[in-house]
Chain A
Amino acid sequence: MAAFLFGPLGGMVPLKVSRGVTDSPARTMSELVTSGGVRYVQRGRRAPRTWQVGRAYEGPGWAALLADAAHGLLGQCWLYDVAAARENMVPAEKSAGVGLPVLVDGRPMGALPVGHAVTVQVLAGRTYTVSLWSAAAAGSTVASFLRSPNLLALVKAPPGTGSRSCAASFTPLADGVVTVTVSAGGASGLRVHEGGPDGRFFSGHGTPCKVAVQDPQRTLELVVDRETRSAYQVTLMEVGKPGTV
């Protein structure tokens, strides 16, 4: 199974990579130190990621799509990081709000306002789970999600008391978007992830995300009569605002 899928929306294909991919989020920070030695920090709202992926001893087919993207032949390309999708596909800033704290997997996070909506790209044939944390009464609707074509489903609070994970799963038949809307107050820890309900919360950066591709770097390893083998290195830079399509 590939760890990444890459390509234009609706045409993403698996991208096999060697182990050792680095994913480095870069959050901007600045500081002010007062004359009395008090430090204040400002930090960026988001930490755009950069991936270094590579593969050794591959033919030109491996890098074909990446090269097309780098040349600008494909329009906007997206990267679906499977590991990140299993944690949370919703960007962190859309997972929690500024309302009264709600215990999310044991951590206090601000409640989301009613009507708060987030849109996530999903791929056909994979199982996804929408979950969020709330102390709502068992059976009450906490959120709803709409996926193409016009399928509305509800996320309801499970039996029990106290803040607990309310989840609903689905498996889309085609690539598309799912829009989750919070329907009750006192909910936080919004998560859409690939996989079944697991009662956990992880914050995410937004997956899949738009990327800019730098031209693949090639180190020739073998050139014989009919084939060429090279080691490839590509840098993928996250662009745009996560959580928007």
Chain B
Amino acid sequence: MQEKPAGWPLEGDVETLPEIFLELHGSQWPPARGDVPQGTAEVGSWSVSQQLTGSALPGQVRAASGHSIPSGSVSFAQPEGAPLTPWARGPLNLGPGGACTLYASHDGVGQAHGLRLGGFHLAPIAGSSLSTTVDLELDGDPIRMQKPFTLRWRYNTKASSFAEPPFELDASWVIDQVARSTGYYQTPALVTSAFLSVPLCGGTMADRGSTITATVAGWVAAEHQAGLGPGSSIDASLSTVVPNKFHISCDVAGAGGRIIIGGAVFDFSSTKLDVRSGITTLASAAYPVASGTIRRVQAEVTRTGNNLAVRVRCGSGAWSAAATAAFGSAPWGSRTDTATIDTTLSPTGRWIRGIQLHAADDPRIWIPPKAQIDMSYSPIHAAFGIEKVTAWEVVQDIAAKTMGAAWMTPGGVLVYRNGERMRGTDAPVETIEALDKLEDLAWVIDPGEIADRVELTYTPTDVETSYGMSTLWESTETIRIPARKTVTVYADINGTTNVLSPFVPLWPPTDPSVTKYADGRMSRWAAATSPDGSGARPADNAIRVSAVMAGVSRVKISITNATGGTLWLVDGTGSPCLILRTGLHIAPGEPETISHGPAVEDALNPISLDAGAWVQDADAAQRILDWLVGQTSTAKAVINSVRVKPDLSREIGDVIRLTDGHTGLRTEAIISGISLAGDSTGYTQHLDLALLDVAYQDFDAWLERESITTFAAFDTWLAANNITTFEDFDQWAIDLGGTW
């Protein structure tokens, strides 16, 4: 539910209609009228609707397209005398496109006191000589997310042994990367003066500076969102040396986390910052305000000689008193340009993310989040196969494959809700009694929603570790490098890697003091002064080759010819020769299918879902299969387009309690669609509701309410309430979702 602005009238039986305004951002039209400024129109008739799909919600098990785009229309009165047209001049000149916001207000024009109904861009605009209105179509497609998306990529996993590396990413990290690249920030945007920025929203890659090696024990959710959980350590390289005065900003929950610079340990807990040397606490500063599970905190660090003065705050308000930590020697050297983010030490329950080290104070740290991205619980090694798709398609694809859902809220916040929450584990935000609030209760159940066999296909990864012997790519064409020139080639590899083996010549080193690698090890090049490989062999340092990851599965190779003559990259026989190798090769493996129910030939109504490479972990795949089995074992009812006593703050994805005194319905439901339509006489709201199963959380909440902590107490309660047969128990359990 959206929060209503201050001064919004309380819900009552008689509602005074709010005014509806359309603000066209940066637009010259319509001209100012009365107290309505230029670029804003008071709307006559309007409509907005949005349907949520995906995550195998009831009614959509077989049609989870994942797309959830609001749309709408408005019309407003033509100015008297001088109509708006596409051929008029100045502020009467209509133009299509452009962003706009529709909002309701009880306090006149201005979004400050308004309730947003949606952010859109203008689709076709229509008018006519005989019409007194201008009619606009509104399209909620997030335009910024329609561009092709390129994932910046660095795989940091420490490959110090031949053990299979742990999953370094949560699939939600990719959504966070998409969101950040399109301006929807869950953790603060990169501030200008930052010399290290690591969002840590399910992945270790840095925005500024770079993370070098990472040991990730696992991502942990706080308020459903991913952060770096206990037992992890990330070494980072800063983009500048540590200045004498700087700020550390981060989000912490639970016991927080530590940032180590040289010999100084900054330990951010949920209530205070401790500055330590080793394990000795030298100074502490308590946060002035600390509320909420995730706390955004900031420390200002000033170094004078061997001393560090620190003060902290939560939000842009007042700082705590300064505390001074006196170190025995300089806490770090003047050339220090590394830091470590660490959650390995006790206490347990550490959680940190959104770390930025920045020289100057920056208000952007405190901008409210424009993205709410849940942790997906689908751990992955890498994001495969996201070339040539738009940002929005990436988000929707991940949402659909992880049984979650993604949408834009009317408030302009990008939401990804994971499968767990889409089952309705959130506390209901309101109770709707059908007799009192609904015009009708029209339900439908579809046998097509039932499946006796459920199949899920996922893609485990193949991990190959070696001493630089896994070949990623070999050139198939002869590369010609003119004298003293550099040629760049892009190699598309299968899968990805964390480190590319350095290039050495194909032949053994001429200089016996240079390390000789076995054949088949290291990246290799061979060159000749003629394309057929004939002629004298060039020197060992004739060619310099460097390679960096330019994408998940793309390597940029730069080859420089250090000699005064043209060289061709061929071996002695004239075959192209440039070989890229790695010590850790991770690639999508053979898709694996897990199933539940009778064999394929016996199944009457099977359903199968391909989660692609967004599910790489067997446990995650099993969990998704279980969820699908639950959703398809019986047909769930859906209630489509039922008119309800309107409340403009309702949002799709809200979990509500639905009761009906007439039919005895008591359940929880998720709002999967909202249609609003209004004109001068009033407005209507129609809801689509998907009824939810009893969730374990309901049972848990019930136990807590009844103060039942042992099986014996549960037995006693059952006996006292005459629940003696399994049939009674079934009925009781079904009703549980509605007992409150």
Contact = CB atoms under 8 A, between A and B. Distances in A.
Interface in B639-687: 643, 645, 661-662, 680-684
Contact of B645 (A34, A37, A241, A244): A34
A43 B435 contact: no
Given A30-B681, A35-B662, A45 B439 contact: no
B14 A36 contact: no
Nearest to A44: B17
A60 to B, nearest CB: 26
A29 B433 CA distance: 24
A51 B435 CA distance: 43
A38 interface: yes
B7 A98 contact: yes
A90 to B, nearest CB: 15
Interface in B421-466: 433-441
Nearest to A97: B7
Given A41-B13, A42-B15, A36 B435 contact: yes
Interface string A86-106: 000000000000100000000
Interface string A43-74: 11100000000000000000000000000100
Interface in B396-435: 433-435
Contacts of B438: 34-35
Interface string A231-245: 000000000110010
B34 A244 contact: yes
B626 interface: no
B34 A241 contact: yes
A36 B434 contact: yes
Interface string B1-26: 00000010100011111110000000
B435 A42 contact: no
A204 B681 CA distance: 21
B35 interface: yes
Interface in A150-164: none
Contacts of A33: 439
Nearest to A113: B7
A28 interface: yes
B35 A32 contact: no
Contacts of A241: 34-35
Contacts of A44: 16-17, 680-681
A33 B643 CA distance: 10
A34 B681 contact: no
A43 B34 contact: no
B643 to A, nearest CB: 7
Pick the most buried of B9, B437, B662: most chain A CB atoms within 10 A of its CB: B437
Contacts of A244: 34-35
Pick the most buried of A35, A38, A41, A241: most chain B CB atoms within 10 A of its CB: A35
B14 A45 contact: no
A71 to B, nearest CB: 13
Contacts of B441: 35
A32 B439 contact: yes
Contacts of B18: 45
A193 to B, nearest CB: 23
A241 B105 CA distance: 15
A43 B14 CA distance: 7
B645 A32 contact: yes
Nearest to A244: B34
Interface residues of B, number: 31
Given A35-B441, A38-B435, A30 B34 contact: no
A29 B439 contact: no
A240 B435 contact: no
Contacts of B9: 98
B681 A35 contact: no
Interface string B496-535: 0000000000000000000000000000000000000000
Contacts, number: 74
B17 A45 contact: yes
A73 to B, nearest CB: 12
B14 A41 contact: yes
Given A40-B13, A40-B645, A44-B17, A29 B682 contact: yes
A44 B18 CA distance: 8
B681 A28 contact: yes
Pick the most buried of A37, A72, A98: most chain B CB atoms within 10 A of its CB: A98
A38 B681 contact: no
Contacts of A30: 681-682
Contacts of A29: 681-682
B680 A28 contact: yes
Given A28-B681, A29-B681, A34-B438, A42 B17 contact: yes
Contacts of B34: 240-241, 244
A34 B435 contact: yes
A93 B645 CA distance: 24
Contact of A32 (B106, B435, B643): B643
Contacts of B661: 36
Given A40-B645, A244-B34, A35 B16 contact: no
A130 to B, nearest CB: 20
A17 B434 CA distance: 54
A34 B14 contact: no
B15 A43 contact: yes
Contacts of A98: 7, 9, 106
Nearest to B434: A35
B19 A34 contact: no
B680 A34 contact: no
B13 A43 contact: no
Contacts of A37: 435
B729 to A, nearest CB: 32
B440 A35 contact: yes
A65 B14 CA distance: 42
A44 B681 CA distance: 6
A42 B683 contact: yes
Contacts of B662: 35-36
Interface string A69-85: 00010000000000000
Contacts of B16: 42-45
A45 B108 CA distance: 11
Contacts of B434: 34-36
A40 B7 CA distance: 21
Nearest to A39: B13
B136 to A, nearest CB: 21
Contacts of B437: 34, 38
A32 B685 CA distance: 11
Pick the most buried of A32, A33, A37, A72: most chain B CB atoms within 10 A of its CB: A32
Contacts of A45: 16-19
A40 B646 CA distance: 10
B680 A35 contact: no
A40 B435 contact: no
A36 to B, nearest CB: 3
Contacts of B435: 34-38
Contacts of B682: 28-30, 42-43
Which 4 residue pairs spanning A and B have beta carbons closest together?
A36-B435, A30-B682, A42-B682, A244-B34
19 contacts: A28-B680, A28-B681, A32-B643, A32-B645, A32-B684, A34-B434, A34-B439, A34-B645, A35-B440, A35-B441, A36-B433, A38-B436, A40-B645, A42-B17, A43-B14, A43-B16, A44-B17, A45-B18, A98-B106
Given A34-B645, A98-B106, 11 more contacts: A32-B645, A34-B435, A34-B437, A34-B438, A36-B661, A40-B14, A41-B14, A42-B16, A42-B683, A45-B18, A241-B34
